[in-house]
Structure formats: structure tokens, C-alpha cells
């Protein structure tokens, strides 16, 4: 009910603004041949990985991005992903949305959007941007954090006094909860990529980024997302989730270090209302009750030398990333994991690189049964990835 | 604790919305042509396109040199970045002028 109200008033405001804007729009660009406002861009990558278990040319991906500027105010972006893995081609729409500029620094985005919860998915996940061949823990298409969703968003940037800030506020179909019927061992887990909207509640979220320094080298972001997870008319209908995150970016040439330092990171907290879940497994009903709080984080440091005359050295980049994931105790998906990834990249141009990385992962927990000690697993993997943006 | 989080969230959400619409209201009649300088701090007005390009375009990915694209392509790419990377109108404008002058 409350949500309906929010959404209808939001649409009214947007319509009013569109109306206001319409009066001053006469700037549709005239796409002459060779002057088209359409751009086909994108990237491609392939990864080789090797550890004790397997050594394989993992997957290859081709990811075209379509950009079209219809006028000064209307813009479209869409990204497809074709992935070839295990002999099969998988196709996905990563995002497909348009932007309408309501005012110079206020833009409406609608469609399937990358959810601006922190910085990783919205900004860093394309392989020509991500400094390492892997994602931090908790991120990914089946992770605990939002990736892309259907919805609308207002975003932009402006100044508060002397300080630049950027903002986004959105409402989307939102995540759902695993009730145990689909995947018993994931009962109580938040699921972001649900193909169906399971309730009338929409998730609401936002991010505010501030730039305390005048040269924009530092940005600190605060994100929050609130949603109801349960299926319509189910016992779990009223389970709510509240997620929040802090992210930071510091990128700057530091002459005393002779290079560009790139610090990025994000802390995420995922809090889901307490609930007792009953799951039928092999006709036995198991009851799970746990405090449903998880957290994940990553801390990344990159260094790119700029000293000396050797172009070879200047094309190198050293990267380290530490990442953690903690899920609820007593949940069947309980885990305490950490990951350290060290990488060396060679940049052929600004969007083309060969990346070498060594990842050390320690996973404790997982799906331990009653009375069993949680397993501890150490996995060390070597990665080689090439990525090319076009 | 959770209650406080929620209040904080609503407070922030309300704050953003108000800000956005105040922005909207004060700027609705200003054209998109870069004369929109109201509320922009002096130090930003004084920055050159090349300076904004050097300090801002490196924050997420490696910096693209102006030679990467033609004028028209830069228009599309920088509109994309304005929207996607949350540049202000003025920043996007200044960088575009620099790209066009140096490609």
C-alpha cells in the first residue's frame, strides 16, 4: 500500500517534470549518415584457470554495449552478454535502460538497471575495468548483493556548497527469499536475480557519494536498500531485508611513490528479519532458526608506475585485493570465507590487458550437517585473463 | 539498531529527494548549453577541460586519450559518462570541448 503510494506519486512528479521539460525541447539530433548518435561498443574476455582440481580454459565472453543518443535529453544503453562455457552459449541482458534528463543534473533511468548499491556492479565489474580476473566474495550472479533489476531511478551529481556529490534513488522489483522448496540448503538466503516479481512490494534504495577533496580523488559512498522478500500470501510474506554499504575510491598520482595509486573498497551488511523456516528434505521436516545477518567486504589496492622512460614498466600494474564473506551461524549455508588475490596486469592500451592473478581462498563452513565439524577448505587458483574493450 | 538504520535510511532518502527537486526547480529554465553555472563553486568553474579529464576520468577506469574517438563519438560517449558515471553537466561539457580540441 505504502509502496503503491510512493510509486504513484513518483510517477506524477516525473510526468509533471516531463511536461515542464517538453516545452523547451527542440533539440532532437539529426542523424546524418556517418554522424549517427548510435555507438556499438563493448568488450570481450577469456580466462584460463588452474588449481589442484582442474586446469581449464574457463569461459569466453562477448559483451556488446549499445548506446544511442536520441536527443540531448534521451539516451539509451543496453548490454548483452554472450558467454561460452562448458560447451554451451549463455545469453543474458546485463542491463537495458533509457535515461531521460529532467534537468541538467537530474536524470531518470528506467528499465533493467544495474543497481547502484555500492560501486562494484555499477562501475567496476566489466573485465576491462575490474583490475583482477575474479569478483570479490559475495558478488556475482548468485551472490548476496544486488546486481541488476527492473525499476526506475533518479541519478545525477551536483554541489553542496563547495563539495561535489552524486546521488541515486531507485525503486525496483527487488529481491526474494529462498523458502527452501527450490534449494533446501539455501533456505533463508536472499536472492536478487529473481525472474519473477513475487510480491507487490517494491524495494527502495539509494546511494549518496561525496567528494571531500577538490580534485575528486576521493569519493566516499553510502548505500541502502530496503525490501520485503516473501512471496505474496505466503508465511514468509512479511520478511523484510535491510542492506547497507559503505564504499570508497581514492585514485591519484602520488609522486613520492612514482605512480598512480588506486584504492577501492566496499563494506556490505545484509540484515534479514528473523524467521523460523521449515524445510522438507527426504520427507523429514527440518526446522531452521537463525539470526539472518551476513556481511561481505573487499579492500583493493592498485599501483601503476609512471616513473622512468620504459613504456613496458609504465604499462604494468600491481594489484592486491582482500575480500571476506560471513553468513549466518546455524544457517545451512553458514560460511566464513576470506580471499586474497594478487595480480599483475599488462595494459596494451587503456581498455586491453593481459591479467595474471593468484587467488588464495579459505572457506570454512558451507553446508555442514548436524554434529559434523564445519569443513575448512583452502583453494589456491592461478588465473590468466585477457580482456579487450572495443 | 535495525530501527535506527531504517530511520537513517528514510531520512537520507527524504534528503536526496528534496535536494533533487530543489535542483530541478531552480534549473528548469536553464538551457543545456553549459551556461548553467548557478550553484557551481568558483573552483570548479575555473577548472579547464583537460584538468577535469585528468583528474576525473581515471577514477573508475584508465583514462581514454582524446584520439580514441571522433567528435561525434565523443558526444555520445561523454553523454553516456555524464549519465552513467554521474558527471555534472558542466564537467561533461568541459571534457567534451577538450576532447574535440585535442583529438
pLDDT tens, residue by residue, A295-324: 999 999 999 999 888 999 999 999 999 999
- A183 band by pLDDT with thresholds 50, 70 and 90: confident
Write down the pLDDT at residue A216. Answer: 94
* Closest CA of chain B from A190, distance in Å: 17
Q: Looking at B1-103, which runs of residues are DSSP E strands?
A: none
Quick check: helix, strand or coil at residue B95?
helix
Q: Which residue, among A110, A170, A159, A145, has the nearest Cα to A296 in the 3D structure?
A: A145
What does the alpha-carbon distance between residue A225 and residue A204 come to, in Å, rounded to a whole number?
6
Judged by CB atoms closer than 8 Å, whether chains meet at A123 and B85 is answered as yes
What does the alpha-carbon distance between residue A182 and residue A94 come to, in Å, rounded to a whole number?
24
Judged by CB atoms closer than 8 Å, whether chains meet at A159 and B88 is answered as yes
Write down the pLDDT at residue A5. Answer: 54
Residue A164, beta-bridge partner list: A159, A211
Write down the pLDDT at residue A235. Answer: 77
What does the alpha-carbon distance between residue B61 and residue A251 come to, in Å, rounded to a whole number?
10
Judged by CB atoms closer than 8 Å, whether chains meet at A162 and B41 is answered as yes
* A44 and A61 Cβ atoms separated by less than 8 Å: yes
Q: What are phi and psi of A239, to 5 degrees?
A: -65, 125
Residues of A in contact with B84 (CB under 8 A): 77
- A31 band by pLDDT with thresholds 50, 70 and 90: low
Q: How far is CA B89 from CA A3, A213, B45, in A?
A: 32, 19, 12
Q: Report how far apart the first and last C-alpha atoms of chain A are (Å, whole number).
A: 46
Judged by CB atoms closer than 8 Å, whether chains meet at B88 and A105 is answered as yes
Write down the pLDDT at residue A281. Answer: 77
What are all long-range contacts of A215-218, with beta carbons under 8 Å and residues at least 24 apart?
Answer: A215/A252, A215/B55, A216/A164, A216/B55, A216/B56, A216/B59, A217/A250, A217/A251, A217/A252, A217/B55, A217/B59, A218/A248, A218/A249, A218/A250
Average pLDDT over residues B53-62: 95
Q: Greater confidence, A181 or B101?
A: B101
Write down the pLDDT at residue A30. Answer: 56
Q: Which residue, among A244, A380, A109, has the nearest Cα to B12 in the 3D structure?
A: A244
- pLDDT of residue A337 exceeding 70, the answer is yes
Number of domains in chain A: 1
Write down the pLDDT at residue B32. Answer: 45
What does the alpha-carbon distance between residue A105 and residue B27 come to, in Å, rounded to a whole number?
9
Quick check: helix, strand or coil at residue A365?
strand
Average pLDDT over residues A90-98: 94
Write down the pLDDT at residue A26. Answer: 42
* Closest CA of chain B from A166, distance in Å: 6
Tell me how crowded residue A69 is: count the other CB atoms within 10 A of its CB.
23
- The answer to whether residue A271 neighbours chain B at the CB level (below 8 Å) is yes
Q: Which of A41-50, A73-82, A184-193, B39-48 has the lowest mean pLDDT?
A: A184-193
- A50, HSE (Cβ side, Cα atoms, 13 Å): 7
Mutate to test the interface with A, among B62, B81, B94 (most CBs of A within 10 A): B62
Write down the pLDDT at residue A382. Answer: 96
Judged by CB atoms closer than 8 Å, whether chains meet at A158 and B36 is answered as no
Whether A5 is in a domain gets the answer no
- A58 band by pLDDT with thresholds 50, 70 and 90: confident
Write down the pLDDT at residue B29. Answer: 45
- A345 band by pLDDT with thresholds 50, 70 and 90: very high
* pTM beyond 0.90, yes or no: no
Residues of B in contact with A216 (CB under 8 A): 55-56, 59
- A10 band by pLDDT with thresholds 50, 70 and 90: low
Mutate to test the interface with A, among B77, B86, B93, B99 (most CBs of A within 10 A): B86
- pLDDT of residue B2 exceeding 60, the answer is no
Tell me how crowded residue A176 is: count the other CB atoms within 10 A of its CB.
24
Residues of B in contact with A116 (CB under 8 A): none
Percentage of chain A lying above the pLDDT 70 cut: 86
- pLDDT of residue A192 exceeding 60, the answer is yes
Q: What are phi and psi of A113, to 5 degrees?
A: -110, 155
Average pLDDT over residues A117-145: 91
CB pairs under 8 A between A and B: 146
Whether A25 is in a domain gets the answer no
- A278 band by pLDDT with thresholds 50, 70 and 90: confident
Write down the pLDDT at residue A373. Answer: 66
Tell me how crowded residue B10 is: count the other CB atoms within 10 A of its CB.
13
Q: Which of A3-17, A61-75, A228-242 has the lowest mean pLDDT?
A: A3-17
Judged by CB atoms closer than 8 Å, whether chains meet at A158 and B23 is answered as yes
Question: What contacts B60, CB < 8 A, 6 or more positions away?
Answer: A123, A124, A129, A249, B85
Mutate to test the interface with A, among B14, B18, B24, B38 (most CBs of A within 10 A): B24
Write down the pLDDT at residue A389. Answer: 94
- A25 band by pLDDT with thresholds 50, 70 and 90: very low
State ipTM.
0.88
Average pLDDT over residues A183-196: 79
The CATH number for A383's domain is 2.40.160.10
Write down the pLDDT at residue B28. Answer: 46
* A150 and A172 Cβ atoms separated by less than 8 Å: yes
Write down the pLDDT at residue B103. Answer: 84
Q: Looking at A104-186, which runs of residues are DSSP E strands?
A: 106-114, 148-160, 163-172, 176-177
Largest CA distance in chain B: 54
* Closest CA of chain A from B97, distance in Å: 16
Judged by CB atoms closer than 8 Å, whether chains meet at B61 and A107 is answered as no
Judged by CB atoms closer than 8 Å, whether chains meet at A162 and B43 is answered as yes
Average pLDDT over residues A116-138: 94
Tell me how crowded residue A175 is: count the other CB atoms within 10 A of its CB.
26
Question: What contacts A5, CB < 8 A, 6 or more positions away?
Answer: none
- pLDDT of residue A6 exceeding 60, the answer is no
Torsion of CA A101, A102, A106, A107, to 10 degrees: -40
- pLDDT of residue A236 exceeding 70, the answer is yes
Q: Which of A72, A155, A157 has the CB atom closest to B88's CB atom? A: A157
Write down the pLDDT at residue A139. Answer: 87
DSSP string, A290-343: E--EEEEEEEEEEEEE--SS-HHHHTEEEEEEEEEEE--TTSTT-EEEEEEEEE
Judged by CB atoms closer than 8 Å, whether chains meet at B28 and A219 is answered as no
Whether A3 is in a domain gets the answer no
- pLDDT of residue B10 exceeding 90, the answer is no
User: Regarding beta strands A203-211 and A218-228, do their DSSP bridges make them parallel or antiparallel, or are they unpaired?
Assistant: antiparallel
Q: How far is CA A346 from CA A133, A162, A182, A322, in A?
A: 13, 38, 43, 21
Residues of B in contact with A347 (CB under 8 A): 62
Whether A19 is in a domain gets the answer no
- A229 band by pLDDT with thresholds 50, 70 and 90: confident
The per-residue pLDDT for range B23-50, each reduced to its tens digit, is 655 554 444 444 557 788 999 999 999 9
B-chain residue closest to A131, CA distance:
B61
* Residues across chain B: 103
Whether A357 is in a domain gets the answer yes
Write down the pLDDT at residue B83. Answer: 97
- A316, HSE (Cβ side, Cα atoms, 13 Å): 10
Supply the mean pLDDT for chain A: 87
* A297 and A321 Cβ atoms separated by less than 8 Å: no
Q: Which of A132-146, A304-318, A332-346, B24-38 has the lowest mean pLDDT?
A: B24-38
The per-residue pLDDT for range A246-269, each reduced to its tens digit, is 999 999 999 899 999 999 999 999
Whether A181 is in a domain gets the answer yes
Write down the pLDDT at residue A17. Answer: 53
Write down the pLDDT at residue B73. Answer: 92
H/E segment holding residue A50:
strand A38-50
- pLDDT of residue A211 exceeding 90, the answer is yes
What does the alpha-carbon distance between residue B62 and residue B73 come to, in Å, rounded to a whole number?
18
Give helix then strand counts, H and E, for chain A: 2, 20
Average pLDDT over residues B3-17: 66
Domain of A254 in residue numbering reads as 34-389
- The answer to whether residue A182 neighbours chain B at the CB level (below 8 Å) is no
Task: Report which listed range, A54-58, A153-157, A372-376, is most confident.
Answer: A153-157
Amino acid at each position: 500500500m505504502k509502496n503503491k503510494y510512493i510509486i504513484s506519486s513518483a510517477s506524477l512528479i516525473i510526468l509533471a517534470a516531463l511536461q515542464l521539460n517538453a516545452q523547451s525541447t527542440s533539440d532532437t539530433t539529426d542523424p546524418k549518415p556517418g554522424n549517427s548518435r548510435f555507438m556499438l561498443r563493448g568488450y570481450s574476455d577469456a580466462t584460463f584457470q588452474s588449481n589442484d582440481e582442474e586446469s581449464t580454459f574457463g569461459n569466453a565472453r562477448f559483451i556488446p554495449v549499445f548506446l544511442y543518443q536520441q536527443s540531448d535529453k534521451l539516451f539509451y544503453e543496453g548490454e548483452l552478454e554472450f558467454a561460452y562455457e562448458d560447451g554451451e552459449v549463455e545469453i543474458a541482458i546485463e542491463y537495458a535502460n533509457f535515461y531521460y534528463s529532467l534537468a541538467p543534473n537530474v536524470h531518470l533511468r528506467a528499465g533493467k538497471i544495474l543497481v547502484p548499491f555500492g560501486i562494484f556492479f555499477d562501475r567496476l565489474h566489466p573485465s576491462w575495468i575490474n583490475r583482477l580476473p575474479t569478483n570479490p566474495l559475495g558478488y556475482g550472479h548468485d551472490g548476496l548483493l544486488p546486481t541488476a533489476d527492473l525499476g526506475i531511478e533518479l541519478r545525477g551529481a551536483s554541489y553542496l556548497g563547495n563539495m561535489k556529490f552524486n546521488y541515486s534513488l531507485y525503486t525496483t522489483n527487488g529481491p526474494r527469499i529462498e523458502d527452501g522448496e527450490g534449494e533446501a540448503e539455501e533456505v533463508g538466503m536472499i536472492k536478487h536475480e529473481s525472474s519473477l516479481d513475487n510480491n507487490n512490494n517494491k524495494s527502495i534504495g539509494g546511494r549518496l557519494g561525496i567528494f571531500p577533496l577538490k580534485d575528486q580523488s576521493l569519493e566516499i559512498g553510502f548505500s541502502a536498500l530496503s525490501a520485503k522478500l516473501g512471496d505474496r500470501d505466503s508465511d514468509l510474506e512479511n520478511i523484510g531485508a535491510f542492506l547497507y554499504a559503505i564504499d570508497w575510491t581514492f585514485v591519484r598520482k602520488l609522486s613520492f611513490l612514482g605512480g598512480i595509486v588506486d584504492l577501492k573498497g566496499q563494506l556490505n551488511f545484509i540484515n534479514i528479519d528473523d524467521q523460523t523456516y521449515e524445510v522438507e528434505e527426504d520427507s523429514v521436516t527440518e526446522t531452521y532458526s537463525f539470526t539472518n545477518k551476513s556481511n561481505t567486504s573487499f579492500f583493493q589496492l592498485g599501483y601503476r608506475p609512471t616513473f622512468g622512460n620504459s613504456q613496458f614498466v609504465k604499462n604494468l600494474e600491481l594489484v592486491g585485493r582482500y575480500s571476506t564473506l560471513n553468513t549466518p551461524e546455524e544457517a545451512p549455508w553458514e560460511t566464513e570465507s576470506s580471499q586474497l588475490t594478487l595480480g599483475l596486469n599488462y595494459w596494451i592500451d587503456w581498455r586491453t590487458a593481459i591479467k595474471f592473478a593468484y587467488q588464495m581462498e579459505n572457506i570454512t563452513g558451507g553446508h555442514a550437517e548436524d554434529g559434523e565439524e564445519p569443513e575448512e577448505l583452502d583453494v589456491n587458483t592461478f588465473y590468466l585473463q585477457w580482456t579487450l574493450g572495443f | 539498531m535495525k530501527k535506527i538504520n531504517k530511520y537513517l535510511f528514510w531520512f537520507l532518502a527524504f534528503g536526496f529527494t528534496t535536494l533533487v527537486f530543489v535542483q530541478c526547480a531552480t534549473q528548469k529554465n536553464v538551457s543545456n548549453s553549459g551556461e548553467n553555472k548557478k550553484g557551481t563553486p568558483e573552483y570548479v568553474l575555473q577548472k579547464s577541460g583537460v584538468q577535469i579529464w585528468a583528474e576525473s576520468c581515471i577514477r573508475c577506469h584508465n583514462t581514454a586519450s582524446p584520439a580514441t574517438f571522433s567528435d561525434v563519438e565523443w558526444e555520445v560517449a561523454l553523454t553516456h559518462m555524464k549519465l552513467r558515471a554521474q558527471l555534472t553537466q558542466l564537467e561533461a561539457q568541459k571534457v567534451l570541448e577538450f576532447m574535440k580540441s585535442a583529438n
